[in-house]
Structure 1
Amino acid sequence: MAVHPKRFETIVVPQTVFGVITSLAMYEEEGGLVLWGRVLARTPRVMFWVWINLLPFAIDNQRQRAAIMEDKHNKPWRTMPSGRMTREQGKAVMMAFYPLAIAASFQLGGLEQCLALIALGYGYNDLNLADRNWISRNAINALGFCSFASGALDVAVEQSLPDASRDMIGWLGVIAAVVFSTVQTQDMADQIGDRLRGRASFPLVVGDNRARWLTALSVTAWSFVCLRYWKTNRGPNILIGLVGVTVSCRLLIYRGVGADKGTFRLWNVWMAGLYVLPL
């Protein structure tokens, strides 16, 4: 069972970018005491850490009864809805990967974040906090993004985040707020399946049109706030601003499952752009 490409776009690649780019920015502020090559050489380890911590969560997410029911309509080719694996077998695989994630985090770094992700995954999947309320759903997503990002940073710099740079804690707080208020972009294309499983996602609770306007305004506002936070020059201002405005315009103009999936992919590009700002 592999991690779905959507999660590579949302988690593996962007969080690896965050860890590597932010660590390079931290070393730059310290006068280049550590060569860039040392960080770049650890990029495969950073990506592996993100992947090994994401994999058991993804399995747990797919093995839930509601998820299997939804996937029978939307993604019947997946392992469990297609009958190639039972829920019990999925749980066994998941339970095998969690110790591997802990062992890898103990060796590479990011152990605290690994344990936090296990707790968040339990709340998201087993306690159904992602289905009951859009606030808890978005909050867990925000905390999960920060756990992946700070863990990737720990692996990249080979030390714990508070010792490496306390300034980055504030930036992680901003990222958490960005994700909490805009991550529902991923729910726009999934409204049919979410309605079938009874998930109280943001667009289903507040309505499709209102959700699009609120999300578009949030993306535009956060583009400005993040650029001001790092006091970047004109080049990044124009680039990030254009991507943010494009995401907002697509949310309002292009509607439908295919269009919303494209908008969500562009949202991931926008997030990756924000991650580059410290450098």
Structure 2
Amino acid sequence: MFLSSGNKPLQWLYILVLFTKSDFKTTIIPITFFTAAASPNPTLCHVLQAAFWTWLQVLQFDLANQTMRPEEDEYNKRDRPLPSGRLTLATACKLRWILVPICWAWSASYSKEALYASVAASALTVIYNECATHSGHWTVRNLVNAAGYASFEVGATVVATPGNQHLDRISILSVCISASIYATTIQTQDFKDIHGDRLIGRRTLPIIHPALARYTVIAGLLLWSIVLTYVWDLEQSVQVVLFVLSFFISYRFVTFKDVAADQVSFYWYNVWLSVAHALPGYYRYLAV
């Protein structure tokens, strides 16, 4: 049984959303901003379809991730379906593999390019979870994370693009920059989870080099703000927004170091990331 209280559709939907709850702010919303900005001539309908496509791929990843080490969520996130008892581990494992062909079939209904992105996301999910990259050295973990985000962005941008096929030069450049940002700043999400990560033996940057890790946030955000300024030809007012956010977020990470503060700082990081993801649209429609 999936649920002791019955298998009602709304209960199912609620459980699936709970698996992905924490990723709305970190992945689904930023990538939706990204697709709206990076896709050539997207419509609202296309962007909403891209958001759902992203959610479906993220759901596959989260099911794999949360079934690998469910004891981690007993400490960090007790409202998730497994630690809260809403779903059994055996059922979640079955659902994890059922979702793979569902994601592929859904993607193939758009185009072969969307299918390739979904297959890449599934492969990287296995590398991250079943191959235990998540508990390896932080550099490998960051790179696999960045590649996973890139697969989400490519697929979502393809879905958001009329015709659902080829990406143009701006779209490809946008994905490359975004993946690089993730690879060098994704440690911002690890500060708030440091106690649970240490409990299961993860080697994240905040665990290995706690003091240095906080200063990498300053370097990453400021350097990428400079790069984004020149690549997307930002006017002064947009530069001010980007740099003010960078300084503010960096200050928070270096000054406020408890778990609750790191959670708030990570929210602000995602604000900066959403602004960065919107810049290809600024360049496409305003700067050019």
Other-structure match for 1:266: 268
Aligned equivalent of 1:93: 95
- TM-fit CA distance, 1:169: 2.0
SS in 2 for 1:143: helix
Q: Separation in 1 of the partners of 2:263 and 2:245?
A: 16
> For residue 34 of structure 1, what is the aligned residue in structure 2?
none
Identity of aligned residues (%): 30
How many Å separate the matches in 1 of 2:48 and 2:164? 19
Q: Per-residue CA shift, 1:199-226, capped at 9, x if unaligned?
A: 01111112x1110012221111111111
1:54 aligns with 2:70: no
Pairing 1:190–2:193 present: yes
Q: Residue 269 of structure 1 aligns to a residue in which SS? A: helix
Give the aligned partner of residue 278 of structure 1.
280
The alignment yields a C-alpha RMSD, in angstroms, of 1.6
Secondary structure of the structure 1 residue equivalent to 2:155: helix
Q: What is the aligned counterpart of 1:16 among 32, 39, 49?
A: 32
By how many angstroms is 1:149 displaced?
Answer: 1.2
Q: 2:79 corresponds to which residue?
A: 77
Residues 236 and 277, structure 1, Cα contact 8 Å, conserved in 2: no
**Residue type at the aligned position of 2:37:** I
Q: CA deviation at 1:264?
A: 0.7
- The answer to whether the 8 A contact 2:70-2:82 is kept is yes
Question: Mapping of 1:42-191 within 5 angstroms?
Answer: 42-64=46-68, 67-109=69-111, 110-159=114-163, 163-191=166-194
Query: Contact 1:108–1:158 (CA<8 Å) still a contact in 2?
Result: no
Conserved 8 A contact 1:70-1:196: yes
Moved more, 73-82 or 237-246: 73-82
For residue 237 of structure 1, the aligned residue among 232, 236, 239 is 239
- The CA deviation at 1:160 is 5.8
Cα deviation for residue 166 of structure 1 reads 2.8
Task: Please list every run of at least 4 consecutive aligned residues from structure 1 whose deviation after the TM superposition is greater than 6 angstroms.
Answer: none
Q: Which amino acid aligns with 2:227?
A: V
- Per-residue CA deviations over 1:170-200 (Å, capped at 9, x if unaligned) read 3322211111111100000111111000001
Residue 228 of structure 1: CA displacement? 1.1
Q: How many pairs align?
A: 263
Measured after TM superposition, the shift of residue 43 of structure 1 is 2.1
- Paired residue type of 1:190: D
| Aligned counterparts of 2:234 and 2:140: Cα–Cα separation in 1 | 33
Helix, strand or coil: the match of 1:145? helix
Partner of 2:258: 256
**Distance in 2 between residues matched to 1:258 and 1:131, nearest whole Å:** 23
Do the aligned partners of 1:113 and 1:151 also contact (CA within 8 Å) in 2?
yes
Deviation at 1:77, TM superposition (A): 3.3
Task: Extract unaligned runs of 5+ from structure 1.
Answer: 28-37
Query: Structure 2 counterpart of 1:181, which letter?
Result: T
Determine whether 1:5 maps to 2:21: yes
Deviations 1:73-120, CA, capped at 9 Å, x for gaps: 222332222344332211111122222111111113421110110001
Q: Which residue of 1 aligns with 2:10?
A: none
Between the aligned partners of 1:221 and 1:133, the Cα distance in structure 2 is 24
Deviation at 1:258, TM superposition (A): 0.6
Q: Which residue of 2 aligns with 1:32?
A: none
What is the CA–CA distance in structure 2 between the aligned matches of 1:18 and 1:103, rounded to whole Å?
Answer: 24
With structure 1 as the length reference, what TM-score do the two structures score?
0.89
- Aligned partner of 1:247 in structure 2 is 249
Structure with the largest fraction of helix: 1
Q: 1:46 Cα deviation (Å)?
A: 1.0
